[in-house]
Structure 1
Amino acid sequence: MNLRQSTLVVKLTPLYGNQVADFQLVTEGYQNIVFRCTHQEETVFIRVAEARRRSVSMIEAELEWLRILRDSGIIVPSPRKSNKGNCIETISLGEDTFYAVAFSKVHGRPMDVTNSQLWNPQLFEKWGETLGRIHSVVPKRQIARPYWGEPLTSASETMAFFEKNEDCILKVRLFETVAQIENLPRSADTFGFIHNDFHQGNVLVHNEGIGIIDFDDCVYGWYAQDIAAALYHAFWQATALGGSDLSFGFSFLQSFLKGYRKPHNLSSEIVRQIPIFLRWREFFLYAVFMKNWPLDSLEIWQTYTLECLRKRIKNGEPYIPLSSNELMLLSEIR
């Protein structure tokens, strides 16, 4: 652990653990720091977020949404109270403030694109069905989370990065896409509460079904955005590591959307929007990587990834080829 992580552990220990040695760093991701420890005889994961990125009310709304999903039979983490009896703890490090939340462990195995026993059309269908179930859960009252593009969302952070750091042509491409998104219809069939980072890294597979983790970015947005995130990262991993070819995108969606439409209406408008949000994912990832990767000591694959993202964004090239005929066929899936 680095100095900041070690100092956080010292602050967290009286709240969740017995001694500093109980804590293990799981990851310092692009947005949060996550530790694992034994708390009240249970393995928990403690997410630590900077207060400049998340307000207490936003975290409370996230926890409310998780409760609603659990009550609907969806496998998601449960918050665990600290030794002080709080679901959210405030931690100060000098001038910086952090919010800590402990979550129960969601059991299951990560998806492995090289394992055909796990990575197959049957799994894609079940994965899509799980997302359809999430999108079918409509809160009885407004959840206090922002709408896509509002302050303290990943979309607003992406736009702010391009405004400050990128050249004119990339800014033009960004705001062309933003304008396209903001003009999309917001009907009950296409718009609602979304996970907002629904890639396979946040999916765990076990005998009881599929568990979903990391709702930190949840917002009101377009359902197609969650579908596009799943497709984008599945395609990336399957073609880079799993030996799949460019046809994987269409075949993946055939299975995924077959499952999705079981609990949720799959309108042709949702399918039409998928390429738009595949493009948005490129802007989002480019900004995240540029902010978090060591630009003066990039590995070869990181340099290649950034070059490809920049080229596709600049030239308006799609990452995943989906023809208009394929989109029409996907709209008709039963």
Structure 2
Amino acid sequence: MSAEARVFEEFARAALPSYGIDPGAVVTLLNVSENGTFRIDDPVQGRSVIRVHRTNYHSRQAVRGELDWISALRADDVVKTPAYLPDLTGESVVISRNDAGDERFVVRFDWVEGSEPTEDRLQQDFIQLGAITARLHGHAKRWQRPPEFSRFIWDYDTSIGEHGHWGPWQDGLAVDAEALDVLTRCSDRVKQRLDRYGKDPDRFGLVHADMRLANLLVNGDDVTVIDFDDCGLSWFMYDLGSSLSFIEHEPYVPELVESWVTGYRSVTDLSAQDEAELPTFIMLRRLLLVAWIGSHIETETAQSMGAEYTSTSCRLAEEYLSRKF
């Protein structure tokens, strides 16, 4: 276990008494990415999940906003997603403190059985993913958000612009002079396209923002959507870009996009202009992930991507710049 994972585990264990969980419960690391996620096996309460947040990322009110949307999606039976479990006082977002007095936000979720979809059924799963995304978007357009609702905005400026949530993509791994040139031209073209596309309410609203297959749990015919931690305000079509995270360069991506569009249109309309702009959202996400890898190099995912992710991004950028819209 990495040093970072051990820190996350320290806060996870410190939070157990807030939920009435036996201090001797088994705590098993599931994932370290933006947060640390752990499976908790308690002899009395059974199995659940605890998510420990990074510092200086989401505010407590923003985390509550995520949970508000999850609760609304469950209440309106839009998609299957795990319920959050409040602490003994009814608080949804616990403040966990370690022995040094440091604090982290912690959220507990119900355990849901299932596994990530396998690669041998990607096209079929992307049809379902498109349909799920369309249902989320429909709900986001109808839902009356609470007055105190607060979430990140994922537009150009806060994604790959001057105020990027994950830092500047220019600080990504192996962004040398040649890469800087092509990726800058690509970023400028993305901004130009997005400015033209606009932020009308039918195009820009509340999105999951991390709709990768890794955030789906399949159990028989049941599909559960997890990890709304990045949900925020962005273009609805950005969810397609996030669905292709880390695989944007694969030769089968056009088939996956076609499957996603088919699934989306099985639920609601998708205009020809929306479909035509999908490559822009794929590149927006790709550049954002170059930034994420550079600012999260301590994670296993970033290390596995390495400098090759940047070099491949340059090839994709050249292809995008040569595209005729």
Inter-partner Cα distance in structure 2 for 1:68 and 1:154: 30
- 1:252 Cα offset (Å): 2.1
**2:37 aligned partner:** 34
Decide whether aligned partners of structure 1 residues 175 and 234 sit closer, same or farther in structure 2, where only a CA change above 3 A counts.
closer
| One-letter amino acid of the structure 1 residue matched with residue 58 of structure 2 | R
Decide whether aligned partners of structure 1 residues 162 and 33 sit closer, same or farther in structure 2, where only a CA change above 3 A counts.
same
- 1:27 Cα offset (Å): 1.6
Decide whether aligned partners of structure 1 residues 54 and 20 sit closer, same or farther in structure 2, where only a CA change above 3 A counts.
farther
What is the CA deviation profile of residues 19-48 of structure 1, one whole-angstrom value per residue up to 9, with x for unaligned ones? Answer: 24521111221x101111035623211111
**2:125 aligned partner:** 123
- 1:87 Cα offset (Å): 1.4
Whether 2:209 is the aligned partner of 1:196: answer: yes
Give unpaired runs (5+ residues) of structure 1. Answer: 240-245, 325-334
Decide whether aligned partners of structure 1 residues 37 and 293 sit closer, same or farther in structure 2, where only a CA change above 3 A counts.
same
Decide whether aligned partners of structure 1 residues 187 and 268 sit closer, same or farther in structure 2, where only a CA change above 3 A counts.
farther
Inter-partner Cα distance in structure 2 for 1:81 and 1:254: 40
| One-letter amino acid of the structure 2 residue matched with residue 70 of structure 1 | R
Q: Tell whether the 8 Å contact from 1:48 to 1:98 is kept in structure 2 after alignment.
A: yes
Q: Which has the higher contact order (CA 8 A, sep 6+)?
A: 2
**1:15 aligned partner:** 18
TM-score relative to the length of structure 2: 0.80
Q: Tell whether the 8 Å contact from 1:200 to 1:234 is kept in structure 2 after alignment.
A: no
Q: Tell whether the 8 Å contact from 2:39 to 2:49 is kept in structure 1 after alignment.
A: yes
Inter-partner Cα distance in structure 2 for 1:139 and 1:62: 13
Inter-partner Cα distance in structure 1 for 2:80 and 2:262: 20
What is the CA deviation profile of residues 186-236 of structure 1, one whole-angstrom value per residue up to 9, with x for unaligned ones? Answer: 234322211111111111223343211110011111111101222455655
Inter-partner Cα distance in structure 1 for 2:14 and 2:187: 40
**1:69 aligned partner:** 73
Decide whether aligned partners of structure 1 residues 223 and 300 sit closer, same or farther in structure 2, where only a CA change above 3 A counts.
closer
Matches within 5 A, 1:1-334: 1=1, 2=3, 3-16=6-19, 17-29=21-33, 31-38=34-41, 41-73=45-77, 74-93=79-98, 94=100, 96-113=102-119, 115=120, 119-137=121-139, 138-141=142-145, 143-149=149-155, 156-157=163-164, 160-162=167-169, 169=181, 170-171=183-184, 173-233=186-246, 239=250, 246=251, 248-293=252-297, 302-309=306-313, 311-312=314-315, 316-318=318-320
| One-letter amino acid of the structure 2 residue matched with residue 69 of structure 1 | L
| One-letter amino acid of the structure 2 residue matched with residue 270 of structure 1 | D
Identity %: 21
Decide whether aligned partners of structure 1 residues 20 and 285 sit closer, same or farther in structure 2, where only a CA change above 3 A counts.
farther
- 1:260 Cα offset (Å): 0.6
Inter-partner Cα distance in structure 2 for 1:149 and 1:235: 20
Range 86-95 or range 161-170, more displaced: 161-170
Q: Tell whether the 8 Å contact from 1:130 to 1:260 is kept in structure 2 after alignment.
A: yes
SS at 2:30 equivalent: strand
| One-letter amino acid of the structure 2 residue matched with residue 132 of structure 1 | A
What count of residue pairs does the alignment treat as equivalent?
305
Q: How much is the aligned-residue C-alpha RMSD, in angstroms?
A: 3.3
Give unpaired runs (5+ residues) of structure 2. Answer: none
Decide whether aligned partners of structure 1 residues 159 and 87 sit closer, same or farther in structure 2, where only a CA change above 3 A counts.
closer
